[in-house]
Amino acid sequence: MTIRLTRRRAIAAAAAAPMVAAAAPAAMAAAPLQGPSSRLANRFALGTFEVTALMAGTRTVPNPKEIFGLNASEEDFAAASAAAFIPTDKAQFFFTPTLVNTGAELILFDTGVAAAGTVAALEQAGVTPDQVDVVVLTHMHGDHIGGLMADGAPTFANARYVTGAIEHNHWSKAGNEGFDKSVKPLNDKMTFLDDGGSVASGVTAVLAHGHTPGHMGYMIESGGERVMLIADTANHFIWSVQNPDWEVRFDADKAQAAATRRKVFGMLAADKVPFIGYHMPFPALGYVAADGDGFRYVPASYQTMLD
């Protein structure tokens, strides 16, 4: 259909224009920029437990090829990065302690780089440091023990402490400043366990050595549901999970660390068990699927929201 603009219609349209303009709302002034939002806690139910991932800190790190994929070619590293839409000249690091509420105790796994970040995340989760009953240390690197002390006093004043016997024995002889400053003052409150040891009912230690001599993961189970805290078994969702044999600078025994990644991720993939990785992109919860000679990281979506 063709619409012809007659002189009468043109005059009518011109007359109506001021009325339309008057009816239109005034343009709103632009809101000020507020910067990126920050969510520091992600809580979900696991059977009768509650599990809360805590983002105790995050920072951008340059030159990740100097840390990950030490035995990979520049071409392979670039190809894996491009396929995941991430750059090769920088990476974002995340530091994610995890709080487990069993209904009887509040158990905190690792403590971040410093107390301030972990306490801030706990506060967003509605928890104060004095409410923490148990602190579990997966291993003794500084970004896991750094929040134990604040101004020379224990951050978690009412807690008892649990760690692996092999790990503690190693660092107690290492002359390490961070261990001596943050862990040694708590030795009288420390208990030790080995592979398969129990922190509490439903919380079981899983030896995952290689990153450090006694590095531990923990399987959390309640009501037939499971999630594994893998700590630093893998430090990146592409450069470590997808490529488990790629060497990582921070792994003490690189061959053992690679073997542990294959063992742990093979189990998680076969049983479809979700995991929280201390350095995975926050909220750090995901799955792995077998994929060729490695694994594929699948971030959690709404699985934990389903009844």
What is the per-residue pLDDT for 128?
Answer: 98
Flag whether 286 is in a domain. yes
pLDDT tens by residue, 124-176 = 999 999 999 999 999 999 999 999 999 999 999 999 999 999 999 999 999 99
Give the mean pLDDT of 290-297. Answer: 95
What is the per-residue pLDDT for 20?
Answer: 46
Residue 69: which domain range? Answer: 48-299
Distance in angstroms (rounded) separating the CA atoms of residues 283 and 28: 35
Flag whether 32 is in a domain. no
| Residue 2 pLDDT grade (very low, low, confident, very high; cuts 50, 70, 90) | very low
Flag whether 3 is in a domain. no
Considering its fold, how many domains does the chain have in total?
A: 1
What is the side-by-side order of every strand in the sheet holding 203-207? 198-200, 203-207, 216-222, 225-231, 275-277, 285-291, 294-299
Is pLDDT of 31 > 80?
yes
Is pLDDT of 7 > 70?
no
| Residue 26 pLDDT grade (very low, low, confident, very high; cuts 50, 70, 90) | low
pLDDT tens by residue, 39-98 = 999 999 999 999 999 999 999 999 999 999 999 999 999 999 999 999 999 999 999 999
Residue 219 — φ and ψ, nearest 5°? -95, 125
Is pLDDT of 3 > 60?
no
Flag whether 135 is in a domain. yes
Flag whether 257 is in a domain. yes
What are the CA-CA distances from residue 220 to residues 98, 102, 186 (Å)? 11, 10, 25
Flag whether 10 is in a domain. no
Distance in angstroms (rounded) separating the CA atoms of residues 11 and 153: 83
| Residue 30 pLDDT grade (very low, low, confident, very high; cuts 50, 70, 90) | confident
**Cβ count within 10 A of residue 193:** 17
Flag whether 238 is in a domain. yes
Task: Quote the pTM value.
Answer: 0.89
Average pLDDT, the chain: 93
136: three-class secondary structure by DSSP: strand
pLDDT tens by residue, 189-224 = 999 999 999 999 999 999 999 999 999 999 999 999
The CATH number linked to 292 is 3.60.15.10
Give the mean pLDDT of 242-271. Answer: 98
Flag whether 122 is in a domain. yes
What is the per-residue pLDDT for 37?
Answer: 83
